[in-house]
Amino acid sequence: MQAMQISSPDKIENSPFHLNEVPLPEPGPGQALMRVSVCGVCHTDLHVAEGDIHPPHYPVTPGHQAVGQVVRLGKDTTGLMIGQRVGLSWLNWACGECEFCQRGEENLCPRARFTGFNVDGGFAEYALVEARTVLPIPDELSDQQAAPLLCAGIIGYRSLRKANLHAGERLGLYGFGASAHIAIQIARYWNCQVYVITRSAHHQQHGLSLGAVWAGSADEKLPQVLDRAVIFAPVGELVPTALQALRPGGSLAINAIAMTPIPSLPYDLIYGERSVCSVANATYQDGCELMKLASIIPLRSTIQEYPFHALNQALQDLKASRFDGEAVLQIGTH
């Protein structure tokens, strides 16, 4: 089978991904083989490509927002059927035994494995999935629409929860890419007023088209104080800016797997019981809840489609913010 692999990190402008012929994987106990239809392209894939985060081995096949069809079951694999349409997400496996897993916080499991990082992912014609963590895809969603939900959507949903967002509150979204353009739809469903803060004028217009009450850059003064905020851009300098925009008792969630250094903070930015937390991965329950919401709201992903071999170009365009929403690779068909 063919897979887009990276053998060593490099600037994405140097096209470090190569289309290689690799052996077809064989599903083990509790696993299934999925024929991949599409796979979303995530900022985390860019971090892997450029060495901001380092997988434990090379070469590696990234991609953790894959939608496809189960074509083979491993020994003793239950809960899946041949022909079933499923989604492969970032959380690939957790031990189920540690204190975090026992509390339903498998996203913090110290032995967790992540798709396209610890194990090969969805930028390939076929991928292995774990029956315990693979997500069923609602019939209402096309493959292309479902792919961005499998990371951007799930982590955006968890970010809103970690920010402690309540219905009717004022929410600031710092950075407006794949996750934020889905998170705003959830927040609007909860009757929240959303303020979009991004340097891209094009992304500002995208936010307004999705129901933001205001959109501007981080150096502009917001027209209202915020109850909650989420930072999606991997820019540490946004942390004091976001805190300054929060009311006393407000909360900030930082959704970034890698981030530039956070500057020192004057104490008065967090005084008044303002709180800050990071968002680390997501749980299986997050994915299940998001998929249900996707059908109810319904969620609509803004996508830019690319052919399988154009992954380097998709990531270059992502880095340069040349499209709204999320890039989706067309890999195969059912």
Q: What is the pLDDT of residue 297?
A: 96
> How many of the other CB atoms lie within 10 Å of CB of 11?
12
How far apart CA 48 and CA 214 sit, in angstroms, is 33
Question: Terminus-to-terminus CA distance in the chain, angstroms?
Answer: 16
DSSP assignments along 281-314, one per residue:
S--HHHHHHHHHHHHHTT----EEEEEGGGHHHH
pTM of the predicted protein model: 0.94
Per residue in 83-104, pLDDT tens?
999 999 999 999 999 999 999 9
Q: What is the pLDDT of residue 103?
A: 95
Residue 27 confidence (pLDDT): 97
Output the pLDDT for position 333: 63
Question: Residue 223 class from Cβ within 10 Å (0-12 exposed, 13-18 middle, 19+ buried)?
Answer: exposed
Return mean pLDDT, the chain: 96
The one-letter amino acid code at 19 reads L
Residue 25: phi, psi to the nearest 5?
-70, 150
| Ordered domains of the chain (ranges, CATH) | 2-153+282-330 (3.90.180.10), 155-278 (3.40.50.720)
Contacts of 277 (CB under 8 A, 6+ apart): 162, 163, 251, 252, 253, 254
For 271, list phi and psi in degrees, rounded to 5: -60, 155
Q: Extract the residue ranges of the chain whose pLDDT is less than 70.
A: 333-334
Tell me, what's the pLDDT at 248?
Answer: 98
Q: Where are the alpha helices (DSSP H) in 52-151?
A: 99-102, 143-146
Q: 273 — phi, psi (to 5°)?
A: 60, 30
Question: pLDDT for 322-332, tens place per residue?
Answer: 999 999 999 98
- What's the pLDDT at 334? 47
Instruction: With CA atoms as reference, report the closest residue to 150 among 37, 230, 250, 234.
Output: 37
- In this predicted model, what pLDDT tens digit does every residue of 286-320 receive, in sequence order? 999 999 999 999 999 999 999 999 999 999 999 99
* Cβ–Cβ < 8 Å for 284, 133: yes
